Amino acid sequence: MEEHITALLDDMEAGAAEITGVRGPGRPDGTGTLLKEVARIRGRPLFYPYIGSGRGRGALVELADGSVKWDFITGIGTNFFGHGDRRMREVALRAALSDVPIQGHLQPNREYAEFLTALSGVAPGRCVHAWPSLSGSMANENALKIIRQKKHPAWRILRFSDAFAGRSAALSEITDNDLNKKGQPDLGQAVHIPFYDPEETWSTARTLDEIQAALRRHPGECAALHVELIQGEGGFREAPREFFSAVFELCLREGLAVWVDEIQTFGRTGEFFALERMGLAELADVVTVGKMLCGSAVLFSPEYNPEPGLISGTFAGYTVGLALGADVIQRLSDEGHVGAAGKIRILEKALTEILGQMRDGGRIRDFTAVGCMAALTPNRSNLDAVKDLIRRLFDAGLCVYYAGHREPYRLRMLLPGGCLGPEDLSEPFDILNRELAV
């Protein structure tokens, strides 16, 4: 078996060796028909005509039409180690060859235990317990139920402007995006709290006042505050540590759970958790993770340990996903990605320099770069202009996406920091600069 695995991995690597840079489409292999079929069956086309060929090398992905593009969005933050990564393929291959393809809470295998052990080894602050699940939304659904059980009969959730929590029926209400909830009932689960506004000197005080006003308006009914430390979907908005610490301390004093949604930020900001980067780990009661882990989980403190039967479900994770999740955590530290002098911080520095030059040269209005999360505001920032820019970038060989719920919309990147160094940034940023100049 070992020889076969090595031969397969060698084969895969040899096949990807010709992927060395951006390339235009060149394979009239019916991709157009496939895309049309996908559009017909879904009832709408894909955002851009992306059907992967199944091959790639590092941050470069090959599409089924033979084109090669820089993947700076990684399926909205999933494949942190990029494409064709030998170790990921090996872990996936071994897991795929084991007994069962998918595991549940009643039938966990070694991979389930290893995923939980890896996660608990890096658990932030008091959140020493963890339950795995398949999607970020499911981890957040579990968080919601755990919190409500603990805080019963309180049930409302404070959430920030531009928050994103997921697209399930309950989470769509907590998410602050009208598109997510058009035609859905408003059951009053979410209580709106303004997020930090860097333009307002009194922003923190205003948020604290609004929290207190919400508690007065709904006495005994507010269970938790849901928070992303860097708002992803909402536009890559940040706030200083002092804002979060004041808000979290107020919530804890008032008996609310602090529910930190790290589904997008986990492993990406230069530490395992953005909570650690900001020195806030001790203040979280419940934390959720997903995306780059190829699965998801809710972490919680002993106080929040739910009664049996509250959270479970048939599926806990695909065997491949659980094995990869454990290995991603291992690699983040073994390969020096996290930490103050880690590779993610080095990439962040390079991104900050490049984006700073673009802003100073008037190419863009502003930018955010934290770890391998980056966003920029183009000079033309209405939704149509930003989508048009993203589609032109795609045609030119760079995959990115957008963020925000109103103008100014931003172009965002969730870079595959696990396989990308500052030396790789010149070609993709040349493409970006060229298209911004059109």
Ligand X SMILES: Cc1ncc(COP(=O)(O)O)c(C=O)c1O
Instruction: Write each residue from 71 to 90 as x if it is in contact with ligand X (CB under 6 A), else as -, in one continuous string.
Output: -----x--------------
* From candidates 63, 147, 239, 263, binder to ligand X by CB under 6 A: 263
CB of 266 to ligand X, least distance (A): 10
In three-state form (DSSP H/G/I as H, E/B as E, the rest C), the secondary structure along 324-354 is HHHHHHHHHHHCCCCCCCCHHHHHHHHHHHH
Give 75 or 194: the residue with its C-beta nearer to ligand X.
Answer: 75
Given strand 257-261, what is the order of strands in its sheet? 129-133, 296-300, 286-289, 257-261, 222-227, 156-160, 190-193
Rounded-to-integer distance, Cα 416 and Cα 343, Å: 12
For residue 437, give both structure tokens: 């100049």
For residue 350, give both structure tokens: 């390079």
Rounded-to-integer distance, Cα 165 and Cα 180, Å: 11
Per the listing, tokens 């690699």 go with 331
Give 167 or 363: the residue with its C-beta nearer to ligand X.
Answer: 167
* From candidates 155, 164, 236, 300, binder to ligand X by CB under 6 A: 164
Which helix (H) or strand (E) segment holds residue 151: the answer is helix 136-151
Cα distances from 227 to residues 3, 104, 166, 241, 375, in angstroms, run: 48, 29, 12, 13, 19
Determine the interface stretch with ligand X among 102-110, 159-167, 179-187, 364-372 (rule: CB under 6 A).
Answer: 159-167
The amino acid that residue 179 corresponds to is L
Determine the interface stretch with ligand X among 8-16, 228-236, 312-320, 352-360 (rule: CB under 6 A).
Answer: 228-236
Give 160 or 243: the residue with its C-beta nearer to ligand X.
Answer: 160
Give 215 or 297: the residue with its C-beta nearer to ligand X.
Answer: 297
* From candidates 261, 327, 424, 435, binder to ligand X by CB under 6 A: 261
- Can residue 169 be called a binding residue for ligand X (CB under 6 A)? no
* From candidates 133, 264, 269, 319, binder to ligand X by CB under 6 A: 264
Per the listing, tokens 């202009």 go with 385
Give 62 or 233: the residue with its C-beta nearer to ligand X.
Answer: 233
Which helix (H) or strand (E) segment holds residue 152: the answer is none
Contact positions with ligand X (CB under 6 A) in 273-302 = 290
CB of 296 to ligand X, least distance (A): 6
Coil, strand or helix at 18 = coil
Contact positions with ligand X (CB under 6 A) in 17-76 = 76
Instruction: Write each residue from 111 to 140 as x if it is in contact with ligand X (CB under 6 A), else as -, in one continuous string.
Output: ------------------------xxx--x
For residue 264, give both structure tokens: 């997008």
Contacts of 183 (CB under 8 A, 6+ apart): none
Residues touching ligand X, count (CB under 6 A): 15
Instruction: Write each residue from 233 to 252 as x if it is in contact with ligand X (CB under 6 A), else as -, in one continuous string.
Output: x-------------------
Q: Closest-CB residue for ligand X?
A: 136
Cα distances from 299 to residues 212, 369, 432, in angstroms, run: 27, 27, 38
8 Å CB contact between 211 and 198: no
CB of 233 to ligand X, least distance (A): 6
**Bridge-partner residues for 123, per DSSP?**
none
Does the CA dihedral 100-104-108-112 come out positive or negative?
positive
CB of 132 to ligand X, least distance (A): 13
CB of 260 to ligand X, least distance (A): 10
* From candidates 82, 84, 125, 166, binder to ligand X by CB under 6 A: 166
Residues in touch with ligand X (CB under 6 A): 76, 135-137, 140, 164-166, 228, 232-233, 261, 263-264, 290
